[in-house]
Amino acid sequence: MTDDEVEQAREQILACFKSAKSIDVDVIIDTGHPAHRILACATSLPADLIVVGTHGTGGFEHLVLGSVTEKVLRKATCPVMTVPPHARTTAKLPFKRLLCPIDFSEPSLRALEFALSLAQEADAELTILHVFEWPVGDEPLEARPFTVPEFRQQCERDAAQKLHELVPQSAREWCRPATRLAHGKAYREILGIAADVSADAIIMGVHGRNALDLMLFGSTTNQVVRLATCPVVTLRA
């Protein structure tokens, strides 16, 4: 890039922050592979949060390695907030309604800690969700791994108790947590309940970095990021 191109890019970026007069903005113009440079800059700062935009389902449709945003999500060591194109019509700042899906894994527990801290800062309502993905609906009984109603009810009671125990008693004084259980495909339930509670943001964990984890990432977290209409904050353990 020429000096003139660098200066033009800097002015375009600063123009976006004219209304944010109380915020100190430092503009860095860099060259190279976008995901690599974003991650390197986040490490060198070090950043507490990376905020990136998504281009909607059309521009963020690849499930593996096809997008800069996805690479940042998988490899960032700090939380990443993805913001969809129309988030301003579905989410408000400061966030007052938060949704945190939990599968009791280490990444999701870290996400809950982050969600609790956000809820405390913003005096927000927090919904903690666990989704059972066993077969439901009109699938034939012989295809279902669990056919005993009592067993399912016990699983639901156990999950509800675990969700309740995850929230410290002190946190209940300021974040008004609510717990919910759902049955079905995890990403569909997460998106549906986010709409139901008018969530301003979804906070969820991201699993590891190997090939198997990439498939798991693509099946839930990536789908939520691709299809959510509100910002999504992802964290890894």
Among 4-18, 41-55, 91-105, 163-177, the range scoring the smallest mean pLDDT is 163-177
Q: Which domains does the chain show, CATH number per domain? A: 81-236 (3.40.50.620)
Model confidence over 17-36: pLDDT tens digits?
888 778 888 999 998 999 99
Question: Looking at residue 94, what is its pLDDT?
Answer: 83
Question: Looking at residue 207, what is its pLDDT?
Answer: 72
Question: Looking at residue 139, what is its pLDDT?
Answer: 47
Model confidence over 147-179: pLDDT tens digits?
567 878 888 899 999 998 998 888 877 777 899
141 band by pLDDT with thresholds 50, 70 and 90: very low
Question: Looking at residue 59, what is its pLDDT?
Answer: 43
d(CA 27, CA 119): 29
Looking at every residue in the chain, the average pLDDT score rounds to 83
Which span out of 67-76, 80-89, 115-124, 167-176 was modeled with the highest average pLDDT?
115-124
Residues 35-62: what's their mean pLDDT? 81
The DSSP secondary structure of the chain, one letter per residue, reads --HHHHHHHHHHHHHTTTT-TTS--------S-HHHHHHHHHHHTT-S-EEEE--HHHHS--SSS--HHHHHHHH-SS-EEEE-TTHHHH--SS--EEEEE--SSHHHHHHHHHHHHHHHHHT-EEEEEEEE-S--TTS-GGG-S---HHHHHHHHHHHHHHHHHHS-GGGGGTS-EEEEEEES-HHHHHHHHHHHTT-SEEEEEE--SSHHHHHHHHHTHHHHHHH-SS-EEEEE-
215 band by pLDDT with thresholds 50, 70 and 90: very low
Q: Give the residue, 169 or 180, on which the prediction is more confident.
A: 180
Question: Looking at residue 145, what is its pLDDT?
Answer: 53
